[in-house]
Amino acid sequence: VEVLGVKERAPGERRVALTPETARKLAALGATVWVESGAGLGAGFTDQAYLDAGAQLADDTRASQADIVLCVQAPETAWLNQLKLGSTLVGMLQPQADSLRAATMQSRGLQVFPLERLPRTTRAQSMDVLSSQAGMAGYKATLIAAQRAPRFFPMLTTAAGTIRPSRVLVVGAGVAGLQAVATARRLGAQVEGFDVRPETREQIESLGGKFLDLGVSAAGEGGYARALTDEERAEQQRRLGEHLRLVDVVICTAAVPGRPAPKIITQAMVEGMRPGSVVVDLAAETGGNCEATRPGETVDVGGVVVDGPLNLASQGAVHASEMYARNLYNFVALFVKDGAIAFDWEDELLAKTRWVAG
């Protein structure tokens, strides 16, 4: 079986789906491993490192021969069109996001595994790309906030007097939010977080943060949150608006699967914050948790900086790629045995992740 690691073509994407480490491990499964020349450069992996790991370098025609293609973002439709009929594609493919993409995947008869569909079960943890990439995003969002803030995060006692620590509020305490709590704590800030899933209280506290109780509980299916009712949303916003006047930094990470990011911080709330405060909206990718957020931009609202960075995981491309590539390897190892592909559709991780048009 021939596996190909592609060079990402999306602008600004520095991550890579195959690393020298996973190239070696795939070869140990009996695969012949190819990597597109230059694929790893954005993440610090040279062509030579792949050659040393036993992979072969491919030009951009190799895709037509590969049985399994590994990528980070969904390739362009024209590129998909040259894939071998019936080959297998693994990555964060979002087939539903683009009807032409979906039609092309279908017409090539591809076996499509969009890993964002992977069930979030214990067994799937080692393959969970949403978690591994969200961890990096939460970390980077916190560093951006620290960088943008016109103040220290830690408390300092200096000859010029005492500096009080920054107050950081993390909105949404999933994987990214908890990493933001942990990172802001390590930088010495006073950290609070909230979420609509009640179990996050303990998780926030275990990282040294304080749970901000806004009186709304909305656990949904599969361990995720559900969307709030209008009443719940109004209550959350009333309490939050008061509180935001006290904080220096807000890091937004709230999401509901398959929906635009919940709007939690209104324009009026931002206007009510103290000048010199900072909002970093990691949810900008899906529209943002803050009404003032402009995805991919930094705006100033009466002295409050609102930043909506995109593709934060790519900014930590080395470790994000290492984790991502291991996630993909662990997934591929479910169906590559002794150098051949064998799908076991009784395995829910394969059956539920697989995408079929319809």
* Binding site residues, ligand NAD, CB under 6 A: 120-122, 124-125, 128, 130-131, 134, 171-177, 195-197, 223-225, 228, 253-257, 262, 264
Shorter beta-carbon distance to ligand NAD: residue 164 or 259: 259
How far is C-alpha 178 from the chain's CA centre?
13
Out of 131, 133, 190, 236, which one is annotated catalytic?
131
CB 281 within 8 A of CB 180: no
Shorter beta-carbon distance to ligand NAD: residue 102 or 256: 256
Q: Which of 161, 153, 165, 149 is nearest to 275 (CA)?
A: 149
Angle at 154 between CA 149 and CA 158, to 5 degrees: 110
Q: Is 236 a catalytic residue?
A: no
Give the gyration radius of the chain's Cα atoms: 22
* Residue 192 C-beta: closest distance to ligand NAD, Å: 13
Q: Is 131 a catalytic residue?
A: yes
Q: Is 139 a catalytic residue?
A: no
* Residue 338 C-beta: closest distance to ligand NAD, Å: 28
What is the SS3 assignment for 163?
Answer: strand
CB 69 within 8 A of CB 87: yes
Angle at 139 between CA 137 and CA 143, to 5 degrees: 110
Q: Which residue is nearest to ligand NAD (CB)?
A: 174
CB 283 within 8 A of CB 176: no
* Per-residue exposure over 109-125, b if at least 16 CB sit within 10 Å of its own CB, e if not: ebbbbbbbbbeeeeebe
* Residue 231 C-beta: closest distance to ligand NAD, Å: 13
Out of 224, 226, 294, 354, which one is annotated catalytic?
224
Cβ-defined contacts of 336-341 (< 8 Å, 24+) = 336/1, 336/3, 336/26, 336/29, 336/30, 336/31, 336/68, 337/29, 337/30, 338/29, 338/30, 339/1, 339/29, 339/30, 339/31, 340/1, 340/30, 341/1, 341/67, 341/68, 341/88
* Residue 227 C-beta: closest distance to ligand NAD, Å: 7
* Residue 330 C-beta: closest distance to ligand NAD, Å: 12
Q: Is 224 a catalytic residue?
A: yes
* Residue 122 C-beta: closest distance to ligand NAD, Å: 6
Q: Which of 223, 224, 184 is nearest to 204 (CA)?
A: 184
| Residue owning tokens 């949810």 | 283
**Catalytic amino acids?**
120, 125, 128, 131, 224
